[in-house]
Structure 1
Amino acid sequence: MDYAQTVEYLFNKLPMYSRIGAAAYRKDLTNTWQLTDAIGNPERKFKSIHIAGTNGKGSTSHMLAAVFQEAGYKTGLYTSPHLKDFRERIRINGEMIREEFVVDFVKRIRGVSEQMDPSFFEITVVMAFDYFVQQKVDIAIIEVGLGGRLDSTNIITPELSVITNIGFDHMNMLGNTLAAIAFEKAGIIKKGIPVVIGETHPETSPIFSQRAHEEEAPIRFADQQRYVTDWKYQRHSLVAEVATSPLADDVTFYTLDLAGIYQAKNLVTVLEAIHVMTGKGWKLDQKTVLRALARVKKLTGLHGRWELVHEHPDVVLDVAHNEDGIRQVLRQVELSDHEELHVVLGLVKDKDIDGVLSLLPRNAHYYFTRARIPRALPEAELAAQANAIGLQGRSYPTVTEALAEAKAHARPRDLVVVCGSVFVVAEA
């Protein structure tokens, strides 16, 4: 098979969560262990940071990768899902995995994999680990796919575990309470390995503390160590003022090329992770951190986080797809200088549709659509549910048509936001 045929094989022959949802989720690590055993256990041969969380884990992963890369370390980065190109999932120093490696890996592992029926995600994780070993990375930043305890990435023993936050998402697989979801995320906490928790919460913090105690893992809550005392949103950047206590006079200004104000929370988590890793001997000085955070997108290729892609009218893409994410986007909308708001919205069937729709403003113009995946909620159904609670708009069969209509109806000082699904943003 050539590269195009290989990727088609991965997408179509293997169960893929983005296409079919929960049916692709493997609730144990058996396949992953068997696959890595077959190729020499690459998971044991590179250093890593493991990152879980409901929201923010992708941005946090990219920020940390940027810092290590800027510090001169050969840095692997594994994230999911991709927006346009499968190879976005696996990068080294911002460069996507080589096509020839993808072809060779699938060829090598196909005989073993077809005996056990692994998922797309399981194959992809093992491919990433094998690539990082072959390329001799100094460290790899590994983003959890879903949950943590049973996620395929959870076969690594990292230098540091990070859990950004806990919110309601994937409840059909992770549980219907914050405590149940936190239990699954806490599954990445390993024996003796330090863990950074991004946000303190009365329902989830005891679960993390208990798990850390059981595993004798040093635990630090990032928001108890640092505080964003002020911030300034600019069109293409966010300037955050960070102190080590609410009364501290000694503050540091960080300029992020990730302009979403929700990145202030992720910044605090990243800074605490850097503090822990510096204590373990990694050379990550302050000047390097400042340079890296100012150009994360350029260094690592991150897209879709309050990303301004068009002006007059402003068109912003954001991968927010659950209630917490949508709340953060709406907070950003309120702070944006615009006249009328236009929202291009597409959701997938297994989200809390009513919960997301109930948050959206009634005075916006809506363009309901769907991504080209089986999990997508049909645009007519989405429009009907939204219209029933007072959100006015029409449905469009493709993201391209919906976005074109929004841009055609928006005036130069209006704002168009595309959100609701990673896959909608990918097509936009």
Structure 2
Amino acid sequence: MTYAQTIDYLFTRLPMFSKQGTSAFKKDLHNIRLLEESNGNPHTKFKTIHIAGTNGKGSTSHMLAAILQKAGYKTGLYTSPHLKDFRERIRINGEMIPEQEVIDFTRRIIPMIDKLDPSFFEITVAMAFQWFADAEVDVAVIEVGLGGRLDSTNIITPEISVITNIGWDHMNLLGDSLDKIAIEKAGIIKPGIPVVIGETLPETRPVFEKTAEEKQATLYYAEQLQQVVNWTYEDHRLNITVKENGREDAQHYELDLPGAYQVKNVRTVMQTIRLLQRAGWHIDEAAIHQGLASARKLTSLHGRWELISRNPDTILDVGHNEDGIRAILQQLELTSHTHLHLVLGMVRDKDISKVLSLLPRQATYYFTQAHIPRALPAADLQSVAAEKGLHGSVYADVNAALQAAKSAAGKKDLVLVCGSVFLVGEVNH
């Protein structure tokens, strides 16, 4: 098979959550265990850091990987979904998995695919673990796909487990209350393995404490241990001053991920790095500064308050759930612009009404949809939005909507594309 044929096979043969939704989600670790056994359990051959959470887990994963890479460690990074190229999901020191590796792994695993009928995600996890083991990475940062307890990545025993936060997302799969969602995320906590919690809520903290006590795992609350004493956002750069509890000096960091919501993620990253340092990992302050200042460049993270053009400023952001949209609204308050043009597309299984009720009525809307079965038809989105006082026209795809927005916008206006990871992935730029 060629690479194109291989990708076509993977996308069409395997159930894919991003396209189909809940029907593609396998609610146990049975398949991944069998896949790993058939490959010689490659996930046991390198160290890992495991990251779950409703929002921020992708940014946190990329920042940690960038710092570890700058510290001299050969660093794997597994994330999902991808925006443009399937290979974005699996990287070592920022470089995507080679096409030939994808071809060879898929060819070898076809008998197991025919036997188990695994999901697309299960196969991509197995592919990542195999490449990381073959390449002899020092450490791999592994982002949970969905939830935690039953996620295919949860076969690993990491050095540190990280849970960024708990919010409202995937309630149809994870539960209809914050404590139920927290139970699923807390499923990544392993016996005796330290846990970093980015943010807590009154409903979620008892869940973490109960699970950690049962597993005899020590909890570290980043929002208490890492204090952000100051931060500024200027010309699409973020400057943050962090003071660690018990230390007199504060550290100043500049980030090339400019979203104000990264302030929370940096606390989580810093607490994780401090635990690694205490465990004997050689990560100096220069590596931390360099990793944070060039995380996007080193790891090719896109779609996080990403400026793609000027006059008017045009921004891509993958925020798509209630908390993600709240973070975008906070960012908009920091961004000077005359008028907002919002290109919006969403998927069917989100709480669309709740998200739309948060969005500004004074913006001009351009409703569209991604080319996936899960996408909410743009006309349906327009109809629900109108009930919330949000008005605009319907466009066949995101690039048509974006072109219309840029044509209508003045030079000092702001054009924002958000609402779905898949919508952002289809933007041509």
TM class by smaller structure: over 0.9
In structure 2, the gaps of 5 or more residues are: none
Secondary structure of 2:49's counterpart equals strand
Distance 2:287 2:269 in 1: 13
- Letter in structure 2 aligned against 1:138: D
Aligned twin of 1:260: 259
Aligned twin of 2:358: 359
Aligned twin of 1:108: 108
Aligned twin of 1:143: 143
Q: Measured at CA, do residues 392 and 108 of structure 1 come closer, stay the same or move farther in structure 2, by a change above 3 Å?
A: same
Q: CA deviation at 1:236?
A: 2.6
Normalization by structure 2: what TM-score? 0.98
User: Is 220-229 or 76-85 further displaced after alignment?
Assistant: 220-229
Q: CA deviation at 1:405?
A: 0.3
Distance 1:237 1:52 in 2: 26
Aligned twin of 2:88: 88
- Cα deviation, 1:6-27, whole Å, max 9, x if unaligned, reads 0000101100001100000000
Distance 1:205 1:274 in 2: 22
> Is 1:332–2:362 an aligned residue pair?
no
Equivalent residues in 2 for 1:27-46, closer than 5 Å: 27-46=27-46
Distance 1:188 1:167 in 2: 17
Q: CA deviation at 1:251?
A: 1.9
Secondary structure of 1:243's counterpart equals strand
Equivalent residues in 2 for 1:239-258, closer than 5 Å: 239-245=239-245, 250-258=249-257
Equivalent residues in 2 for 1:211-250, closer than 5 Å: 211-245=211-245, 250=249
Distance 1:64 1:353 in 2: 32
Distance 1:41 1:194 in 2: 23
Distance 2:338 2:365 in 1: 15
- Cα deviation, 1:262-298, whole Å, max 9, x if unaligned, reads 0000000000000011111111111110111000011
Distance 1:56 1:234 in 2: 21
Distance 1:38 1:308 in 2: 44
- Cα deviation, 1:197-250, whole Å, max 9, x if unaligned, reads 0012211011111111111111101011011111110223100111225x9863
- Letter in structure 2 aligned against 1:295: S
Distance 1:352 1:360 in 2: 13
Aligned twin of 1:4: 4
Q: Quick check: 2:166–2:200 contact (8 Å CA) kept in 1? A: no
- Cα deviation, 1:317-369, whole Å, max 9, x if unaligned, reads 00000000000001101110100000000000000000000000100000000
Distance 2:198 2:352 in 1: 27
Aligned twin of 2:154: 154
Secondary structure of 1:114's counterpart equals helix
- Letter in structure 2 aligned against 1:41: N
Distance 1:55 1:235 in 2: 24
Distance 1:181 1:223 in 2: 20
Secondary structure of 2:415's counterpart equals strand
Normalization by structure 1: what TM-score? 0.99
Aligned twin of 1:273: 272
Segments ≥4 residues shifted beyond 2 Å: 247-250
Distance 2:66 2:236 in 1: 18
Distance 1:229 1:96 in 2: 36
Distance 1:204 1:340 in 2: 38
Secondary structure of 1:192's counterpart equals coil
- Letter in structure 1 aligned against 2:136: K
Aligned twin of 1:406: 405
Distance 1:123 1:389 in 2: 41
> Is 1:427–2:429 an aligned residue pair?
no
Q: CA deviation at 1:101?
A: 0.6
Distance 1:200 1:127 in 2: 33
- Letter in structure 1 aligned against 2:319: A
Q: Quick check: 2:61–2:142 contact (8 Å CA) kept in 1? A: yes
Aligned twin of 1:318: 317
Aligned twin of 1:167: 167
Q: CA deviation at 1:161?
A: 0.3
Aligned twin of 2:417: 418
Secondary structure of 2:54's counterpart equals coil
Distance 2:347 2:308 in 1: 24
Equivalent residues in 2 for 1:116-131, closer than 5 Å: 116-131=116-131
Q: CA RMSD in A?
A: 1.0
Aligned twin of 1:184: 184
Percent of aligned positions that are identical: 60
- Letter in structure 2 aligned against 1:16: M
Distance 2:46 2:206 in 1: 31
Distance 1:289 1:297 in 2: 14
Distance 2:361 2:14 in 1: 41
Distance 1:233 1:361 in 2: 22
- Letter in structure 1 aligned against 2:418: C
Q: Quick check: 2:340–2:415 contact (8 Å CA) kept in 1? A: yes
Q: Quick check: 2:240–2:263 contact (8 Å CA) kept in 1? A: yes
Secondary structure of 1:357's counterpart equals helix
Secondary structure of 1:80's counterpart equals coil
- Letter in structure 2 aligned against 1:353: I
Q: CA deviation at 1:113?
A: 1.4
In structure 1, the gaps of 5 or more residues are: none
Secondary structure of 1:115's counterpart equals helix
Q: Quick check: 2:53–2:163 contact (8 Å CA) kept in 1? A: yes
Equivalent residues in 2 for 1:7-18, closer than 5 Å: 7-18=7-18
Distance 2:157 2:287 in 1: 26
- Letter in structure 2 aligned against 1:273: T
Q: CA deviation at 1:32?
A: 0.6
Secondary structure of 2:142's counterpart equals strand
- Cα deviation, 1:155-177, whole Å, max 9, x if unaligned, reads 00011100000000000000010
Aligned twin of 2:134: 134
Aligned twin of 2:51: 51
Aligned twin of 2:301: 302
